[in-house]
Chains A and B, each alone.
Chain A
Amino acid sequence: MEDNQPQEKPVTQMETQSPVMEKILPAIHIKMDNQKQVTSGTTQDKATCNRCGIISSKEFSFFYGNTCGVKNISMDIYPCMVTAIIGPSGCGKSTFLRSINRMNDLIPHTRAKGRLEVNGINVYDKRTNLVNLRQQVGMVFQKPNPFAKSIFDNVAYGPRLQGIRKKSDLESLVEQCLKDAAIWDEVKDNLNKSALALSGGQQQRLCIARALATRPKLLLMDEPCSALDPLATTRIEDLIEQLKKFYTIVIVTHNMQQAARVSEWTAFFCLGELIEYDKTTRLFTKPGKKQTEDYITGRFG
């Protein structure tokens, strides 16, 4: 319950905000609903939640020019769970992950086919508001990439984009996010220090805090621990464990132990195709496909 406690704070804070702010921040309200549901929810609620996916993709394919990145992916990702995506290099894990918040748009000559929905919104619709989408879908990258600004400004970057300018609001929000990302105790004394002066693990947790600050519903993690040492990895994994109570997390990882440790669901990708998608315990103990078994036992890849 101690972890839930801080989450109450932003709720009350948001409720007291002006109507103008409400208009600006639809994403936050969606998040708020989600949060209330979770914080007040029982295991029963969670179970009902699981049935409808927060991300649902149907026959989704993505192309780089003429090369196919992923093809015909059909899967649902359930809220308030950790979903791990594993697979050999170049199998389309990252492509799929980055399609969810359309980060692949940066690459020229790409196109998507099929349907990919986040919370009922078609991601690859021309009318989709990218800003709203990306504020709902936070992302943590492979390498820690804090901005060359102070720790405070790094975390406050997202909220400021949403129009939160009041210093006290920002301060409480930043503190909350840093606490959620389990880095508050390490940086609380020098929030004005440059983020680049932190260690790699700290930077990665700061990036997570920065992603949390936009109040997303979803957190995409693209191999968040690949550049970190085992100790920092442990801390991030602990963090994921705590965050999954409030956020839906999709994590791409090369480390099968990590997938087994942190995730509830696991998807196995190979050569751009989804081979198998199942509960983690089942996938790792009784894989349904030969390819999966080969991969997780280390006979292939």
Chain B
Amino acid sequence: MKIGYRQAFDKTFTITAGLSVFLMVMALVIILGPMLSRGSKAVFFRGTVEFRKMQLAIFNHGSSDQVQAETARVEKAREPVYELLENFQIGIDVELLTDKTREIYRELGQQLRQMDVDRETYAAIRAKAKDIRDTLSDILESTDKDYVNQGIEVILKLSDDPDFKNTVAEQFFPLARMYGENVKNIDLTQRDQYIAALEEVKDALRKLFGPLPGESTPPMPKDRYGATRWDTAQQSLHQLLWAQAWVETKPGESLEKISVRRDDPQKGQFAGTSLEPLFSLVENNLDDMLQPEFTIYWRYFLDDWVNSHYFGGVGSEIIGTLLLTLLSMMFAVPLGVISAAYLVECADENMVVKIIRTCVNTLAGVPSIVFGLFGLAFFVLFLFPRLNMPSKPCILSAALTLSILVLPVIIRASEEAIKSVPQTYKEASLSLGAGRFRTFVTVTLPAALPGILTGIILSLGRAAGETAPILFTGAVAMGPQPKSLFDGVKTLSYSSLDIATGDRLAMMAPHKQYGVIMTLIILVLCLNILAIIIRWRVAKKLRGY
């Protein structure tokens, strides 16, 4: 019976242990999985022709011939869309039409002067043209459909006038005809609404295909290209197809937000207009217009960002993080190991040492933002000016602050490692006539190295991932790579914070936000693996087999 109990206990213990390990792994998967899978979208995605255009223009990656051929192909596919848009715009954009009318009239005057006609004819033609111009202007301003139709009829009657043959004035008639066509299906009283809706459509089209033909190059790189990714293209397509509207469903109740397709036959904004076919055209031919291809954007880890992370990669952040981490380790490791050696080897167990040890332990639990403020106050504002160094946040102050942050971890780990070196090793060395310092350097330190490396591994990950200590002491969101110790540094941790809080970028390009986090995770993992390999090799050398 007793043995039965024991076996039951034994089994329970095994199961509990296995379960806890499983739970830990699951927790890790649950925490890291979504981040990595979302972040991987920054590298693996369906890139459109716009992406390839952008890569070629900004980073000079990819073959220019291929991109040109693709651009020609998609432009051909997009042509009907722009045509539809332009035609519709003629009916809506009154100001544009008025301008055009005036221009035609002006050009006619110049043409007539050059044609060397006599004065009377000139005056007659001008008067007639002026009539047409005025009528057109009236029509364009009017919201009365009948009036518009009458006016157009009047103008079109003049189209056979021989005086206008072969002059610029002929252009009046197609303009008038087209306007008449367009206006047929438009409620002229709602012209303003059309204009607003048209702006939305144009905006969505810009997001899909880049600047509309004839528009000047936008100043922001992110506006120069359309949807570079298939998933953002889908979002923009949705924006193009669906209009949001606030509708009163029942009188007296609050308004409800509904989505209506813009080309919906009954309720759609553009139902029955000449723009109606545009939506289905874009929807059905988006593939041809964007040419999506599966892309592995491995240069994400090398490229610099463009337009605050909207395009490009995190290359400069990776370099900055590595620089900062290694620099802080350069300060923290020697200091930590020497402190640990002093605490173990030299110091007696007196009150002072006990206080020091307590302080070190307490320091390990201090919130990291406190270190950040300390770094700002001590290094940047107090120490640097007194050493005649520029008193501004820089990579040096950030590294120093981080090194203070990880110092307790290194001291604790090194202390334990040095303590655990067998006394007989030291005795052997001492009995051969070595001094204490030499014994420590040649015997104790090599034997304690794996333990010390463990502390370094722990602190490496911490230093690479910390944001708060470098927030005030040296991290910058933009700017060039640091050229000296007194420049700011871009890091992955700070970038992810900046993307999340800085502007709407996190919403516009979530893949970039998660991409930065994924890169940070991978970087820390790689650093750890590297350190573990080094530790393994050292331990193997110490073991001897």
Contact = CB atoms under 8 A, between A and B. Distances in A.
Given A147-B443, A148-B447, A161-B438, A134 B545 contact: no
Contact of A106 (B349, B427, B442, B545): B427
Contact of B423 (A101, A106, A146, A196): A106
Given A147-B425, A157-B432, 18 more contacts: A106-B427, A108-B348, A130-B433, A131-B433, A134-B432, A138-B431, A139-B431, A141-B428, A147-B429, A147-B443, A157-B442, A158-B433, A161-B433, A195-B544, A196-B542, A210-B428, A210-B432, A213-B432
A21 interface: no
B53 to A, nearest CB: 60
B543 A131 contact: no
Interface residues of A, number: 32
A298 B542 CA distance: 43
Interface in A110-159: 130-132, 134-135, 137-139, 141, 143, 145-148, 157-158
Contacts of A280: none
A242 interface: no
Nearest to B431: A139
A138 to B, nearest CB: 7
Given A106-B423, A141-B424, A194-B543, A134 B443 contact: no
Given A148-B541, A193-B544, A196-B542, A101 B431 contact: yes
B422 A145 contact: yes
Interface string B190-208: 0000000000000000000
A141 B542 contact: no
Given A108-B348, A194-B541, A197-B544, A145 B425 contact: yes
Contacts of B542: 148, 196
A103 interface: yes
Contacts of A131: 433-435
A134 B544 contact: no
B418 to A, nearest CB: 14
Contacts of A141: 424, 427-428, 431
A146 B435 CA distance: 18
A32 interface: no
B259 to A, nearest CB: 72
Contacts of B438: 161
Contacts of A195: 544
A106 B429 CA distance: 12
Given A141-B424, A143-B424, A147-B443, A214 B432 contact: yes
Nearest to A143: B424
Most buried by A among B349, B442, B446: B442
Contacts of A80: none
B126 interface: no
Contacts of A162: 433
A130 B434 CA distance: 9
B522 interface: no
A131 to B, nearest CB: 5
30 contacts: A101-B431, A103-B430, A106-B423, A106-B426, A106-B430, A131-B433, A134-B432, A137-B431, A138-B432, A139-B431, A141-B427, A141-B428, A145-B422, A145-B424, A145-B425, A147-B425, A147-B429, A147-B443, A148-B447, A148-B541, A148-B542, A157-B434, A161-B433, A194-B545, A195-B544, A196-B544, A197-B545, A210-B428, A210-B432, A211-B432
Contacts of A130: 433
Interface in A194-218: 194-197, 207, 210-211, 213-214
A121 B391 CA distance: 61
A220 B432 CA distance: 12
A101 B433 CA distance: 10
Nearest to B424: A145
B494 to A, nearest CB: 42
Given A108-B348, A193-B544, A194-B541, A147 B433 contact: no
A158 B431 CA distance: 9
A145 B423 CA distance: 10
A97 to B, nearest CB: 11
Contacts of A134: 430-433
Nearest to A195: B544
A131 B348 CA distance: 23
A69 to B, nearest CB: 17
A135 B544 contact: no
B541 A145 contact: no
Interface of B: 348-349, 422-435, 438, 442-443, 446-447, 541-545
Contact of A214 (B433, B435, B442, B446): B433
Contacts of B426: 106
B431 A161 contact: no
B248 to A, nearest CB: 84
Contacts of A197: 544-545
A156 to B, nearest CB: 11
Nearest to B443: A147
A194 B424 contact: no
Contacts of B433: 130-132, 134-135, 158, 161-162, 214
A143 B545 CA distance: 20
Contacts of A138: 431-432
B432 A158 contact: yes
A161 B434 contact: yes
Contacts of A137: 431
A137 B431 CA distance: 8
A206 to B, nearest CB: 11
B435 to A, nearest CB: 7
A213 B432 CA distance: 9
By Cβ-Cβ distance, the 9 closest A-B pairs, closest first, are: A194-B544, A196-B544, A145-B424, A135-B433, A139-B431, A148-B542, A158-B432, A197-B544, A134-B433
Contact of A196 (B348, B349, B427, B543): B543
A147 B428 contact: yes
Given A135-B433, A158-B433, A145 B544 contact: no
Contacts of B435: 131
A195 B446 CA distance: 15
Contacts of B434: 131, 157, 161
A131 B431 CA distance: 9
A145 B432 contact: no
Interface string A9-29: 000000000000000000000
A141 B427 CA distance: 9
A145 B439 CA distance: 14
A137 B545 CA distance: 32
Most buried by B among A135, A148, A158: A148
Nearest to A194: B544
Contacts of B446: 148
Contacts of A132: 433
A74 to B, nearest CB: 25
Contacts of A213: 432
Nearest to B540: A194
